[in-house]
Structures are given as structure tokens and as C-alpha cells.
């Protein structure tokens, strides 16, 4: 079968895999190949056990794989044979040298640019899918267009806004698709090519086009705004605990203002995930680079409050449990950074587990999808850690349960049975405010939500 367009994606991660599966599924006349330097990842994408968990992803991949969706380690061939190349490699926070702990580490991205230059035998459209500092496209242009051999590269920015846990739905019905380009004839033509691909399933009014710098910056700003709402309500949750107000009631009252809206206003142990912290720090670094210290300080405080909230959770546990956790057995319900994903990158659970072990507590980690990642995250940390998938069994013999991920399955367990099997007095620290606190209290638990008065029997 001959295909209208041939598309390559470099980087088969959380973004590259699902995004390309959706394009292949919606555009049967496009051939989509996803390549990666990690052969195990590619083997997993080609198997029945995909490397990531997302509701609906298995079905999506299986329907298109082998038809017009292919996963391969042959990057050189991929670059040679495809006209449209998405770059979706990781852009973590730099851990060395200038900007360590703040700036984006662009080594994977730059390596990819050089590979594209080395192996291309014809002109290409190269699309930044990774989240990058504003003006990265300029560097990409300079690397790619350094040879005078008639091959030309048009760079587009097409940041990905999917949220883990709802990736398939977000890709199928995105709030918006953003495509930035240079506003030259070539740039606009390349932009139109990508608009045409998305127009196969995304309504036209949801496909936004912009200049390339606005597009790059919009992704960082979107994540900063989302994280800022979480830190705002979490900051208020600390005040609620002092003032005996209920943060859920405050959040409902505030969120009903149509100018504010109700989403992302749930108090919790804070945000995690691979993106929010790194993208805000990247924004902070950029602002400092441009001499905008007040702007940098403003955004940096979003991250400061997030760490504060996690530390506060531990301090509340310590205070409630008579100022010592040493030798006590604590069950963690949930390790993923949010529900419906197995991803634990930057999960608040890692911080909380580590702090509990420092207090010499023994911990039992439970999660329906993230135990494998949890084991990796906690490797090398001294202390007694057990892994038990079933949440009721995990709580047996424990002094306390700390609910860290908002998995639905925790809402409707047999709390009487769980209580009966625990050491007394039994505690629940609901780090996501999803349980029926009154019911747990009536059974006999001492219940500590976030940003609400605790319900205790003392």
C-alpha cells in the first residue's frame, strides 16, 4: 500500500508512543514509525505488555501496529525514509554544570538534531514535540541548516498537552493543538502540512497556529499555570488546618466563580509527574537568564510550596502519632504520581516514603499499577520496605494508612475489616481527600485529611 505521508517520531516514551498511535489510528493514509535508542522499550511496544499503562492505549496500539504503525530501533533508516520527523526525546532537568537543578538538559535533543542532519538525504519538516526552552528552535535551525547541500529543514513547534492517566482521551479530543512556525513562505507551508494531519480528527477551531516562540513558551506557561493552581490551594490548606476551615468548602466556593473555575483546586500532598517541576524550573531559569528576577522568584515559589506541602504531611503524621514513627508500620496506598498511570516520576510518594524511612518507620507500599516503578525508586534507600498489591492486605498489622494516590479502588474497600486488622489506635492520613472521613471515623479510625479539621477519638 502506498502512503500519502510518512512520519517518524524519535523517542518512544510517554509522549511519542501514545501520540503516534493516535496519529496512525486517525490517519490510515499515513505511515507512522516510532524509533528509540532503547531496544527494550521498542521490544515492549512491539509486545503484548506495553512499556506504559494508559486506559485505552492497548487497544489503540494493537489496532494500528503492523498496519501503519511501526516501532523500530533503526533510527538511521527512519530518518532517511521519512519526510516528517517528530522529536519527542526526554528533556530532563540538568543535573550538572551551569544551570544544574534548574535548566533543561538538552543533550538528548541536540544529539537527535545531529542525527537528523547526518542521515537525511532529502528535505524534511522537523517538529519539536518535546517541551523545550523558548528559542530552542533557533538552535535546531542553526544545527540543521549548517550544510549547503540543497537539503532544507523547516522547524515547527507542536508541544504536547496530554495529561498522563487520560492520555488517549486527551489525544482523541484535545482542548487545542498548537502549531508554531516561522512566518516565512516555507514555514507557513510546513505548518499547513501539520495542520492537515491533525485536521483528520481535530475540529479546525481547535487547531491554533502561532509564531514559533509563542508556541514553545505556551507549553511551559500552561504547566506553570496548572501547577500554580495546585500550590495556591495547597497553601490555603495549611491556613485551613489552623483556622478550622475546610479547604474543600473553600475550594467549592472559590471555584464556582466562573472567572476562576473549579478544576485543579483539590488540596493534596502536591503535584508530581515528570513535567510540572522541571518545566517551572526551566521557566525560572529562563527568567533569570533574561534578568527578570522578580518573575523568576514568583514562579519558583510554586515549587517551594509543593515541597512544603509534602513535608507538612510528614510533620502532621509525626504530630498525630505521638511524635515518633520509629518501628511503626505504615501502609502507603498509592505510589503513582496520579491515578490511572503507573508513572512514578517525581511522585510525592517517593518523598514521603523516603522521609518515613528516615523516621525509621517500616513501610508497606501498595499500588495497582506502579509497584514495579516503586521498587526501582526505593532501591538503595535504607529501611524496611514491603510491596503488597492488595490494599486491604497491605494494611494488615499497620499503625497507619497514608493515602497518596487518588485511585478509585480506595474509595470502596471494607474499612471495618481493614480497621479490625490494624494496630490500635489506627490512623488514616488522606493525602488526596477522597475517602468518606466520617464513615472511617465512625468505624474507629483517627482521620487526618488535608486542609480540614481531623476527626479523632482522643
Ligand X SMILES: NC(=O)c1ccc[n+]([C@@H]2O[C@H](COP(=O)([O-])OP(=O)(O)OC[C@H]3O[C@@H](n4cnc5c(N)ncnc54)[C@H](O)[C@@H]3O)[C@@H](O)[C@H]2O)c1
Indicate whether 68 belongs to the interface with ligand X (CB under 6 A): no
Q: Which residues lie below 8 Å from residue 442, measured CB to CB, with a gap of 6+? A: none
Under rule CB under 6 A, which residues in 33-62 are in contact with ligand X? 35-38, 41
Q: What does DSSP say about strands 153-157 and 177-181: parallel, antiparallel, or unpaired?
A: antiparallel
The minimum distance between CB 38 and ligand X, in angstroms, equals 4
Is 332:366 a contact under the CB 8 Å cutoff? yes
15 makes contact with ligand X (CB under 6 A): yes
CA distance 312 to 239: 12
Question: Shortest approach of ligand X to residue 364 CB, angstroms?
Answer: 28
The answer to whether residues 404 and 333 touch, using CB atoms and an 8 Å cutoff, is: yes
- Which lies closer to ligand X via its Cβ, residue 135 or residue 386? 135
Residue 419's Cβ-count burial label (10 Å; 0-12, 13-18, 19+) is middle
Number of chain residues interacting with ligand X (CB under 6 A): 27
336 touches ligand X (CB under 6 A): no
Binds ligand X by CB under 6 A, chosen from 105, 164, 241, 377: 164
* Residue 274 binding ligand X, by CB under 6 A: yes
Candidate ranges 158-166, 261-269, 365-373, 386-394; the one touching ligand X (CB under 6 A): 158-166
By beta-carbon proximity to ligand X, the closer residue of 130 and 266 is 130
Question: Phi/psi at 433 (nearest 5 deg)?
Answer: 50, 50
Conformational region of residue 89, where left means phi above 0, alpha means psi within -120 to 50, and beta covers everything else:
beta
- Tell whether residue 130 is a contact of ligand X (CB under 6 A): yes
Query: Residue 458 and residue 438: Cα distance in Å, rounded?
Result: 15
13 binding ligand X? (CB under 6 A): yes
373 binds ligand X, rule: CB under 6 A: no
For ligand X, give the closer residue by CB, 131 or 433: 131
Judged on CB neighbours under 10 Å (0-12, 13-18, 19+), 319 is exposed
Count other Cβ atoms within 10 Å, centred on residue 356.
23
Give whichever of 113 and 236 is closer to ligand X, judged by the CB atom: 113
Indicate which residue of 30, 275, 331, 398 is catalytic.
275
Q: Is 82 in the site for ligand X (CB under 6 A)?
A: no
- Choices 89-97, 150-158, 315-323, 380-388; region in contact with ligand X by CB under 6 A: 89-97
- State the number of CA atoms in the 13 A half-sphere of 352 facing the CB: 38
Please say which residue, 33 or 274, places its beta carbon nearer to ligand X: 274
Here the contacts of 203-206 (C-beta below 8 Å, separation 24 or greater) are 206/174, 206/175, 206/176, 206/177
Least distance (Å) between residue 161 CB and ligand X: 7
User: Is 186 among the residues known to form the active site?
Assistant: no
- Nearer to ligand X by Cβ, of 14 and 427: the residue is 14
How far apart are alpha carbons 398 and 330 in whole angstroms? 5
- Least separation in angstroms between CB 127 and ligand X: 12
Residues 208-247, interacting with ligand X (CB under 6 A): none
In the complex, what is the shortest distance from the CB of residue 297 to ligand X, in angstroms, rounded to a whole number? 23
String of b and e for 121-142 (b: at least 16 CB within 10 Å)? Answer: eeebbbbbbbbbbbebbebbbe
Query: Of the candidates 77, 108, 139, 354, which one interacts with ligand X according to CB under 6 A?
Result: 108
Instruction: Single out the segment in contact with ligand X by CB under 6 A; choices: 87-95, 398-406, 407-415, 441-449.
Output: 87-95
In the complex with ligand X, the residue whose CB is nearer, 19 or 309, is 19
- C-alpha 338/C-alpha 341 separation (Å) is 7
112 binds ligand X (CB under 6 A): yes
Q: Is the Cβ of residue 16 or residue 270 nearer to ligand X in the bound state?
A: 16
Return left, alpha or beta for 391; rule: phi > 0 is left, psi -120 to 50 is alpha, else beta. alpha
Q: Which of 89, 267, 350, 353 binds ligand X (CB under 6 A)?
A: 89
By the rule CB under 6 A, 16 interacts with ligand X: yes
162, 236, 283, 365: residue in contact with ligand X (rule CB under 6 A): 162
For residues 400 and 53, what is the distance between their CA atoms, to the nearest angstrom?
A: 29
Contact between 308 and ligand X (CB under 6 A)?
no
Answer for which of 32, 61, 69, 75 binds ligand X (CB under 6 A) is 75
Return the DSSP state at 66: T
Residue for grid cell 503507573: 342
Site residues (CB under 6 A) for ligand X?
Answer: 10-16, 35-38, 41, 75, 88-91, 108, 111-112, 130-131, 160, 162, 164, 274-275
Catalytic residues: 275
Amino acid at each position: 500500500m502506498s502512503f500519502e505521508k510518512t512520519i517518524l517520531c524519535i523517542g518512544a516514551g510517554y509522549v511519542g508512543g501514545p501520540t503516534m498511535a493516535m496519529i496512525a489510528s486517525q490517519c490510515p493514509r499515513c505511515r507512522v514509525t516510532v524509533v528509540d535508542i532503547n531496544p527494550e522499550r521498542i521490544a515492549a511496544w512491539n509486545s503484548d505488555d506495553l512499556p506504559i499503562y494508559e486506559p485505552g492505549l492497548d487497544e489503540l496500539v494493537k489496532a494500528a501496529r503492523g498496519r501503519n504503525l511501526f516501532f523500530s530501533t533503526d533510527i538511521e533508516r527512519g530518518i532517511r525514509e521519512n519526510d516528517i520527523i517528530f522529536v519527542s526525546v526526554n528533556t530532563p532537568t540538568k543535573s550538572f554544570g551551569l544551570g544544574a537543578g534548574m535548566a533543561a538538559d538538552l543533550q538528548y535533543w541536540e544529539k537527535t538534531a545531529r542525527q537528523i542532519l547526518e542521515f537525511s538525504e532529502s528535505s524534511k519538516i522537523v517538529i519539536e514535540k518535546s517541551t523545550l526552552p523558548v528559542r530552542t528552535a533557533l538552535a535546531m535551525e542553526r544545527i540543521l541548516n549548517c550544510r549547503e547541500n540543497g537539503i532544507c529543514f523547516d522547524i515547527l513547534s507542536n508541544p504536547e498537552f496530554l495529561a498522563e492517566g487520560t492520555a488517549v482521551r486527551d489525544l482523541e479530543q484535545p482542548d487545542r493543538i498548537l502549531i508554531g512556525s516561522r512566518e516565512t513562505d516555507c514555514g507557513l507551508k510546513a505548518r499547513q502540512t501539520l495542520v492537515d494531519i491533525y485536521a483528520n480528527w481535530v475540529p479546525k477551531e481547535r487547531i491554533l497556529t502561532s509564531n514559533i516562540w509563542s508556541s514553545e513558551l505556551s507549553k511551559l506557561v500552561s504547566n506553570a499555570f496548572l501547577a500554580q493552581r495546585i500550590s495556591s490551594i495547597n497553601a490555603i490548606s495549611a491556613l485551613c488546618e489552623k483556622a478550622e476551615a475546610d479547604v474543600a468548602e473553600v475550594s467549592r466556593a472559590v471555584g464556582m466563580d466562573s472567572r476562576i473555575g473549579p478544576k485543579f483546586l483539590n488540596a493534596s500532598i502536591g503535584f508530581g509527574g515528570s513535567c510540572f517541576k522541571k518545566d517551572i524550573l526551566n521557566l525560572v531559569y529562563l527568567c533569570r537568564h533574561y534578568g527578570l528576577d522578580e518573575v523568576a522568584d514568583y514562579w519558583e515559589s510554586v515549587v517551594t510550596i509543593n515541597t512544603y506541602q509534602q513535608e507538612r504531611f510528614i510533620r502532621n503524621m509525626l504530630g498525630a502519632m505521638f511524635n515518633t514513627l520509629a518501628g511503626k508500620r505504615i501502609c502507603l496506598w498509592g505510589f503513582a504520581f496520579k491515578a490511572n498511570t503507573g508513572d512514578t516520576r517525581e511522585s510525592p510518594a517517593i518523598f514521603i516514603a523516603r522521609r518515613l524511612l528516615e523516621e525509621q518507620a517500616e513501610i508497606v507500599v501498595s499500588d495497582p499499577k506502579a509497584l514495579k516503578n516503586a521498587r526501582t525508586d526505593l532501591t538503595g534507600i535504607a529501611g524496611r520496605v514491603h510491596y503488597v498489591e492488595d490494599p486491604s492486605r497491605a494494611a494488615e498489622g499497620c499503625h497507619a494508612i497514608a493515602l497518596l494516590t487518588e485511585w478509585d479502588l480506595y474509595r470502596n474497600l471494607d474499612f471495618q475489616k481493614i480497621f479490625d486488622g490494624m494496630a490500635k489506635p489506627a490512623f488514616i492520613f488522606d493525602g488526596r481527600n477522597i475517602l468518606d472521613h466520617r464513615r472511617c471515623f465512625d468505624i474507629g479510625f483517627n482521620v487526618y485529611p488535608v486542609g480540614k479539621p481531623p476527626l479523632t477519638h482522643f
